[in-house]
Structure formats: structure tokens, C-alpha cells
Amino acid sequence: MVDWRMQRVNNGGVSLAVFEVAGSATSADDRHRPTVLLVHGWPDTHHLWTHVAPALAADNHVVAYDCRGFGQSDRPDGDAAYRLEALADDLFAVADAVSPDRPVHVIGHDWGSVQAWEAVTRPGAEDRIASFVSVSGPNLDQLGTWARQKLRRPTPRNLGHAAAQVGSSAYTVFFQLPVLPRMFFGVAGSAAVWREFLHRVEGTPRDRVIVGDTLRQDMVSGLRLYRANIRAKLIDPRTRSTLVPTLELVNERDIALRPAIFDDTYQYAQRLWRRSTPTGHWLPYTNPDHLVRSASDFIATQAARSTPDIAARMDRTRVFGAPHALSGKLAVITGAGSGIGRETAFALAEQGCELVVADIDLTRADETARQSKALGAQATAYEVDVADVEAVTEFATRVRDRHGTPDLVVNNAGIGLAGGALAATDDQVDRLLDVNLRGVISGSRAFGRQMVERGIGGHIVNVASAAAFTPQRSLGLYAASKAGVLLFSESLRAELGEHRIGVSAICPGIVDTNIVGATPIAGLQADDEDAERRRLDGLYRRRGFTPDRVARAIVDAIVHNKAVVPVTPEAAIGYRIYRFAPWLSRIAARRKVTG
């Protein structure tokens, strides 16, 4: 538990209970450390920050307060006392009391973020607020403008976004009714019920939800926030911009707020950073470590205390325009020196990702990184042989230590082997399976463990092949390696689903890459093997399906969390034949393709 030290701050006759973490950089020698002001929402109190405040207090002077109407603060009568203007006045009053000489760094959650938006958009706010971390709480004026714009341009996409948010916000209509919500929370507003609700909605461990003795009162009193502000702001939005550096933590699984409502924030914040993760609404309870890491990095950067690694992490989340679906995410790609891997790097660079590109040929990986930087992405190249399990493990550790845990991993590195299974050498078989199958397993395991430990989800893409479900007499060994990738990916998806980690198997058919030119053909003499490779390479080139199209399918699979993606037309057809008429696949498999 946190050792809170309480004081009182008065604002316009309203007494606010303000809590300072005891020993959190409060000595005279430590006053140079930033003051971090934590602002809660409904129906919480300062107890919301129980798992966040101690970690922040290691490097900061940490203060929280019970907003008016909650906890140990006064509960003025009437709805007018709970308008955002009054709440912003409270925030400034607390800031002046706890840090009179220096601006504070604000972290707001839910209605705490909503009222902080009101504060940071006031003229001159940047003189008193050094930075703002917004969690699950929009600027209501911006939200009203966003809704109006969607309805003025009633495209299917706009209407879909608006309808999704209306559905998520339906509870606010009930909250504004005069009698029923008071009666409801008067009966159901117990700590046990609240803990069970958060556990069922977000999977929050019940013992992590810390509430005060005033929870039932807070639920009822806090309803005034909804009645005093929502209708007025949505009917007559008056958007204003802010000069305060702002980090927006977007929770993709937020029960109340759809991610799309934050897409226009960049228009109102001159300096905006954004981090989007598959997390839920009550981040301070459910994923406090993620909130602490994100806020600490941001505050350190704004307070000029960041290291080069922190600065690099923050750079990738900086927003200069409308965000992409994968903006700010860290992506690792193996086999990135050419073909599908290189094009995937370019596609993710265009999405605003930071890239870690790996290949057995460092020169080619460097070239991919250089071209990705030309697209505006941060990119770092590494040399890795994915067939070496120890090397993959060391690579994953280096990535975590230097860049952080990746959000996306694309296990793309692969080699080919054609010809008869009986004609192949043991060395050829071992190398094929070590790269194509064991390499994918090693990468998935090493980075998957990191994602699970971090606790905020992620996505793993394993590049298989249409050969995984189209048996061929001339590609039996290659097909076996890729079938292993496919079934491993499906199984891993089931295993990691509870951790919000998606797994996709990408299954291209005939794609014009350089893999054919390097593919051994077992059972042929050297001259015949060269001639056969040239013939197959020409066939692939004439097919004309380029790797950039596979890269687009990979991005789509990540965004929409697809399980199995047959990419080319022949792959899609082969997948369905193998599922619904496998005897046709067996007949086709007898045809000799090579040799």
C-alpha cells in the first residue's frame, strides 16, 4: 500500500483532499525532481493510483487528490459546481499548492483526463503544466466536433465509427436520468460488486482494485459530472488547441471509448505523442506497469532527463498527422534483406512503425534500413541466422534491451528446397527445417515470452506458404516445413489469445522473389539444376505477383488479427480445395513440377 500524506487545498470554498506519496522526492535536495499530479475519474479516488504512484515516486514528487464530489473532498450541491471549468480551477489550485515554483506533469484517467484537457487548453496553461498524459478520457469539445463531422459526411466508415461510439457511450444516457441511477448505485455500489465488474469486463485481478470507504457515495455524487457537461459540450463544442506536450494512451479494448474518437487529436495538440495498445479502460489497475513505463519515459523526455534509448522510444510515438492503425509500434522483421521481408519493412514504415530489420546478410539488412529511413521510419539492422537458436535468443534480448519489447514480430526468413524427398541430402533437410520451421518457432518463443511478460498484447506473423496445404511431389520437404509453420501458428494463436497476442500465418502462392534463384533442387546435376532454376524463376517472374502485395496482406492481417491468410489467388483456391475436397489436392500432387 502507498504511504499517503494528506493536506487540504481550498478552491473557491471547496476543500480538496490532496495526497502526497511520503518520501517521494520531497526533501530540499530533491526539489529539482518533477512534480507529477495524478487526477482520477469516476467512480474512483486517489486510491486508483495505488499501483502507479510508488513506481513514479522513485524519480518524481508524486501528488494525487480526490476531485470534488469524491473521497475525502467536499461534495458541493447542484450540477453547476461540477462543470469542467470548475474542475480545471481545482487542478490549477492543487498544482499551485504542491509546486508553486515549477510547472507540474499531469496524468489524468477517465474524467480526470477530461478535466485535464479543459485545463491544458486554457491560454497560458503551458506555464503551469509541463506535460500531460491522457488515459481513457477525451476532450469533450473535440469529441463533439468529431461526432458532428462524422454525421456531416455519412460514409459507411464514418457512420460505423459513430455508431460504435454511441453503443459504447449508451450508459451515459442512463447516468443522466434524475432518479434511477442514484437508486441503482445505492443498491449495487459496493466494493465487491465493483471488483467483480472490473474482473469480468477487463480481467483485472480482484485484489488489485483498491477503493475507499466512500465508493457508494462517490458513484452517486459523480453522476453530476455527466449531467453538468456531456450534453452542453456535445451540443455546442468549442474546440481549443494546447501548447502543452501531450501523450495520448489509447486503449483499443476500452469498454467506453472507441479508438477512432482520438484520431483527430493531432489537430488540437501542437506537440502530440500517441501510444495505442490492446488494453482496457482501467489501465491504472489492470496494466499499471505499462502506464508507469509510458508516463515515465514521456515525463523524462519533457523534463530533459531522458537517455538516448528513452528518446528513441518516444520519437517513434510522435504524431505529426492523422495516425495510422499501427503508428508508434515497434516491429521486428527477420529475412528483411530482400523480397517479402524488405517490402514488409517498407509497408510498416509507411504505417509509422519503428523497425528492427534482421537478415543473415547484414549488408542487405542495412540497405533495407536505409530505404526505410527514407520513408521516415526509425530503422536498425542486425545480422541474425535464424537457424541458430542461441543467436535468435540473444537477438531478442538485444532488441528488448536497446529498443524495448516489440509490438509486432514478423518471422519471415526462409529458404527453399525442391526435388524429390528421397534425393535430398541430410544436410539439405536439416538446414531447411532449421531455417523454415525451427527459426519461426525460436523467434515466436523468444519474442512471445517478452510480450507475455510485458502484459499489453502484441502480434506475431509467421510467413508460411500455400505449399503448406497444396501437396506436391516435387516440394514435399519444403511443404512439410511450411505446414509445420501453419499448424504451429494456429496452435500458438490459441495459446497466446488469453494474453491479447494475435498470431497470423501468411500463406503466399507463387510470388516473384529471389528465393527461387537460391533454391537447391535435389536429384539433379549442377547444369540441369541451374537450367531448372532459370525455368522456374522465369515462370515466377511471368506470374507477376510482387512481394509488396504480400506485405500489404501482412499489414492487413495484423490490423484485423487474421488467423490464416492465403495471399495469392492460387493460394486461396488451394486452401479451399484442401479443406473441402482434399482428394483433388492429392491428384494434383502427382504432377511433376521440377526435374
pLDDT per residue as tens digits for the range 410-436: 999 999 888 888 989 999 999 999 999
User: In this structure, are 339 and 414 located in the same domain?
Assistant: yes
**Residue 278 domain flag:** yes
Q: Read off the C-alpha cell for 484.
A: 509445420
Region 563-580 average pLDDT? 88
**Residue 138 domain flag:** yes
| Mean pLDDT of the residues in the chain | 91
pLDDT of residue 537: 60
The CATH number covering residue 475 comes to: 3.40.50.720
Residue that terminates a domain, selected from 298, 319, 340: 319
Range of the domain at 388: 330-589
Confidence (pTM): 0.85
- Residue 535 confidence (pLDDT) above 60: yes
**Residue 594 domain flag:** no
Higher pLDDT, 524 or 465: 465
**Residue 36 domain flag:** yes
User: In this structure, are 564 and 455 located in the same domain?
Assistant: yes
pLDDT of residue 24: 59
What φ, ψ does residue 55 adopt, rounded to 5°? -65, -40
- Residue 91 confidence (pLDDT) above 60: yes
User: In this structure, are 302 and 336 located in the same domain?
Assistant: no
Beta strands 61-65 and 14-21: pairing type?
Answer: antiparallel
User: In this structure, are 275 and 301 located in the same domain?
Assistant: yes
Q: What is the pLDDT of residues 195-229, one digit of tens each?
A: 999 999 998 999 999 999 999 999 999 999 999 99
- Residue 290 confidence (pLDDT) above 50: yes
- Residue 318 confidence (pLDDT) above 90: no
pLDDT of residue 594: 53
User: In this structure, are 371 and 233 located in the same domain?
Assistant: no
User: In this structure, are 337 and 262 located in the same domain?
Assistant: no
SS3 letters for 454-523?
HCCCEEEEEECCHHHCCCCCCCHHHHHHHHHHHHHHHHHHHHHHHHCEEEEEEECCCCCCCCHHHCCEEC
- Residue 536 confidence (pLDDT) above 90: no
Q: Do residues 441 and 550 make contact, with C-beta atoms less than 8 angstroms apart? A: no
Higher pLDDT, 536 or 397: 397
- Residue 316 confidence (pLDDT) above 80: no
Helix (H) or strand (E) holding 324: none
Out of 192-206, 308-322, 364-378, 457-471, pick the least confident.
308-322
pLDDT of residue 501: 97
Nearest CA-CA partner of 58 in 285, 341, 293: 293
**Residue 457 domain flag:** yes
CA end-to-end distance (rounded Å), the chain? 71
Nearest CA-CA partner of 191 in 222, 175, 215, 173: 215
User: In this structure, are 437 and 504 located in the same domain?
Assistant: yes
| Band of pLDDT at residue 585, cut at 50, 70 and 90 | confident
Q: Structural domain tally of the chain?
A: 2
| Band of pLDDT at residue 30, cut at 50, 70 and 90 | low
In whole angstroms, how far apart are CA 479 and each of 315, 417, 420, 440? Answer: 42, 9, 12, 15
**Residue 265 domain flag:** yes
User: In this structure, are 237 and 356 located in the same domain?
Assistant: no
User: In this structure, are 292 and 438 located in the same domain?
Assistant: no
pLDDT of residue 301: 92
- Residue 29 confidence (pLDDT) above 50: no
- Residue 363 confidence (pLDDT) above 80: yes
User: In this structure, are 169 and 36 located in the same domain?
Assistant: yes
In what side-by-side order are the strands of the sheet with 354-359?
379-383, 354-359, 330-333, 408-411, 458-463, 501-507, 564-566
**Residue 595 domain flag:** no
pLDDT of residue 178: 85
Region 493-509 average pLDDT? 95
CA 83 to chain centre: 33
Hey, what amino acid is at 409? V
**Angle value at C-alpha 21, between 17 and 23, nearest 5 degrees:** 135
CA distance 462 to 412: 6
CA distance 473 to 192: 63
- Residue 67 confidence (pLDDT) above 90: yes
Beta strands 330-333 and 4-11: pairing type?
Answer: unpaired
pLDDT of residue 528: 63
**Residue 325 domain flag:** no
Residue that terminates a domain, selected from 255, 289, 319: 319
CA distance 60 to 96: 17
Q: What is the pLDDT of residues 369-383, one digit of tens each?
A: 999 999 989 999 999
Q: Read off the C-alpha cell for 214.
A: 466512500
- Residue 313 confidence (pLDDT) above 80: no
User: In this structure, are 289 and 350 located in the same domain?
Assistant: no
- Residue 37 confidence (pLDDT) above 50: yes
Region 308-314 average pLDDT? 78
Question: Catalytic residue among 285, 478, 540, 575, which?
Answer: 478
Residue that terminates a domain, selected from 260, 295, 319: 319
Region 359-366 average pLDDT? 97
pLDDT of residue 323: 84
The question of whether 575 is a catalytic residue gets the answer no
The CATH number covering residue 87 comes to: 3.40.50.1820
- Residue 495 confidence (pLDDT) above 90: yes
What does the buried/exposed string (b/e) look like for 381-398 if buried means 16 or more CB atoms within 10 Å of the residue's CB?
bbbbbbbbbeebeebbee
Region 438-458 average pLDDT? 97
User: In this structure, are 344 and 299 located in the same domain?
Assistant: no
What does the buried/exposed string (b/e) look like for 272-300 if buried means 16 or more CB atoms within 10 Å of the residue's CB?
bbbbbbbbbbbbbbbbbebbbbbbbbbbb
- Residue 332 confidence (pLDDT) above 80: yes
Beta bridge partners of 15: 10
- CB atoms inside a 10 Å sphere around CB 304: 6
- Residue 28 confidence (pLDDT) above 50: no
- Residue 325 confidence (pLDDT) above 60: yes
- Residue 186 confidence (pLDDT) above 90: no
CA distance 564 to 285: 34
